[in-house]
Chain A
Amino acid sequence: MRVFLLLLILLLVLDATIFATPIYMAIWQGILVPGHLLSDFYYSMLLSLYTSTTSSILILLITIPIGYYISRRITRRNLLLPVIMLPSSISPAAVGLLLLLFFTKTPLGLIIDNTLKIVNDPKGIIAAQLFLGIPVGVSYFTALFSSIPRSYEDAALTMGFTNIEYLYTILLPMSTRQVFTGFILVFTRVLGDFGASYIIGGGIWGKTVTLPIYLYLVSQLGGIGVLVITLSIYIVSILVLIAVVYQLESMEGHPQNA
């Protein structure tokens, strides 16, 4: 067992070394950031937050009822789940290309793009994020709702609630913490997307450059000072987010779980 502990320590050291690199580089190099790149950074951060929050909320609205339905009605899931998981199993760049093909080369896609303006627009990024995040949401909520004893639902139905009323007025309030965890799971997934967002959004400065795209573009420009600082901010904020989520998860919920 001691060998396993060594492995764990090795993993932690590796993590710390890699993730801390930009932070001490930033300190060592001093903070020398050209003004225009910094304002672009703020824009990218806001754009990332805006698109990820919007798409995460949409994903939850879509995947919660789907997850509930699958958990209740579909017993043979081994054919359905691969199809649902497909977008998150293939490369995000391929997802972006698929969307680009659809919106620029098919009649239906062209009509949608002409009316809604998807390609080269933040809306395109949201569309890409939806595709990538929905599988995560569906699999998470299917598993969540499958794990909640059926007896709650049986009682609610005989008490006079329909399935839909049960889902929204009893089941979700009963599992707020788990729903929040699902939100964070989806949120971190879509926030981190680079490939799909870059291809459908085009990476236009001041319009469709999200945080991961910003990091890539800055590294291409050779702005190492900006890169280490923005990387540091990015890593620290994600770390804080994850830590908060784990803290919430381990906290005691309702006394029933005590």
Chain B
Amino acid sequence: MGSLRLVTILLLLGSPAFAQSPTYGVGRTPTAEEIRRMDISIGATGEELPPGRGTAKEGAQVFEQKGCMACHGAAGIGGLAPALQSKKGQDVPIWERERILPLRAPFATTVWDFIRRGMPLGSEGTLTADEVYALTAYLLFLNQVIPEDEVLDKQSLPKVKMPIGDDYARLPDWKPGTPRLQGYPY
């Protein structure tokens, strides 16, 4: 009897109809198009990237036209905003080089994501996809991550090999009620 009831519960839990039925029924289901428009999170696979393309040469022009220099300095050095070009050589280990997004980020998609998300400060959302690809290419070129003529698009951007490679720590699995670091500091 008890095991039969258990089986019934398990069947119910496993059925998609059960999983999809909301408890409160409050709110509405956004359309796929609405979600596509608001989803500005670009993961490492680049699946959310829009179509478009750009090169470092084009990006240098955009950098000038959009006034990026005013805050970041010419070629991303010497401004009040964060530096965008490393002053240290490529022979210096990555963790001893500056904390510059288009240099130290593990994925080039993070650079694309942040330019589109937050730049230019005060006029966010005004850059075209081509301009964002071009700016990303320019900043990666400035840090000698890609050659000047490399075309970045939805396919090539996620494939860019960043200098940090795999050399960064991953967070341990977080569980409720566990110490932040086992055995620390005693």
Indicate whether A and B interact: no
Interface residues of A (CB under 8 A from B): none
Interface residues of B (CB under 8 A from A): none
